[in-house]
Amino acid sequence: MDWLTDLGRPPFAWRDLLDIAIVSVLIYEVLKLIRGTRAAQMAVGAGLIVLLLFFSQAAQLETVNWLIRNMVGYIVFAAIVIFQSDIRRALAHFGQAPFFRLLAKTEGTEEVIEEIVVAASMLSGQRVGAIVAVEREIGLRNYIEGGIPLDARVTYDLLVAIFQPTSPLHDGAVIIHEERIAAAACFLPLTVNPRLGRELGSRHRAAIGLTEESDAVAVVVSEESGIISLVLDGRIDREVTPDELRSRLRRLVTYRRSGEPADRLSALDR
């Protein structure tokens, strides 16, 4: 009589729907994170290995099945070592969910953005290279401690003075932490992305490398051309006008008083 009882039960309960919804969201977020990265190619390779495992079981290919089952453990450890930066970035991304957010920056951000825009415009006109990184949710203490501590108010004249070729602080990046210039002459990790063009110099590669490992926003001024670039999530948008830079920084850095970001979407996605 048990089968008659099972027939009377609904095929899905609300727990099943919730379970499916959570798994779907997790898969969607993971696919967004690995899109366009080396991890995407690894995911395709892992999928092929899984298909080969099931095929070997169905076709009774004992040698192939034994080989795959014994190699899985080593492949997992190798993936953790090779893609540790991507894994760290994924965990940091999940930690930025709205229900984990307790505090938000609300005061003084507009003034900081305006000072950055004015400084970038002046440096662009003078053909002076510069890189300014704005910390958001993920802390940049490791890079701040490697630079020259300043703890100064953000002003365009100070930023312009720092990046002058005669200044001892011009070689490196300025990091803005909690609406103040935390440090200058900070050295950032260079990206190893082989798809970048050769026209991008060390400043652009350092900005891309920083944003690959954190959610920081970087503003780069080219010394050769004076072009202003905006870098986020390992992607670079070149030839940004001051007005575009101002509006994008507002969407990326400015927060509503409710504690939620004004625009969590990348301003580089058009």
pLDDT of residue 114: 93
Domain boundary (44, 68, 100) is at 100
Domain membership of residue 264 (yes or no) is: no
Domain boundary (50, 82, 100) is at 100
Write the DSSP string, 32-79: HHHTTSHHHHHHHHHHHHHHHHHHHHHTT-HHHHHHHHHHHHHHHHHH
229 beta partners? 220
- Residue 149 shares a structural domain with residue 227: yes
- Residue 227 shares a structural domain with residue 193: yes
pTM for this model (two decimals):
0.60
**Per-residue tens of pLDDT for the chain, all 270 residues:** 555 455 555 566 777 788 888 888 887 877 776 665 666 677 777 778 888 888 888 888 888 888 888 887 777 777 777 667 666 666 666 655 554 444 444 457 889 999 999 999 999 999 999 999 999 888 898 899 889 999 899 999 999 999 999 999 988 999 999 889 999 999 999 988 878 877 788 899 999 999 998 989 999 999 989 999 999 998 999 999 999 999 999 888 864 333 444 444 344 443
- Residue 126 shares a structural domain with residue 226: yes
Domain membership of residue 266 (yes or no) is: no
Q: How many domains does the chain have?
A: 2
pLDDT of residue 161: 95
pLDDT of residue 253: 84
> Rounded to whole angstroms, how far apart are CA atoms 122 and 237?
19
Domain membership of residue 263 (yes or no) is: no
- Residue 39 shares a structural domain with residue 57: yes
Give the other-Cβ count within 10 Å of 194's Cβ. 6
Domain membership of residue 95 as a residue range = 2-100
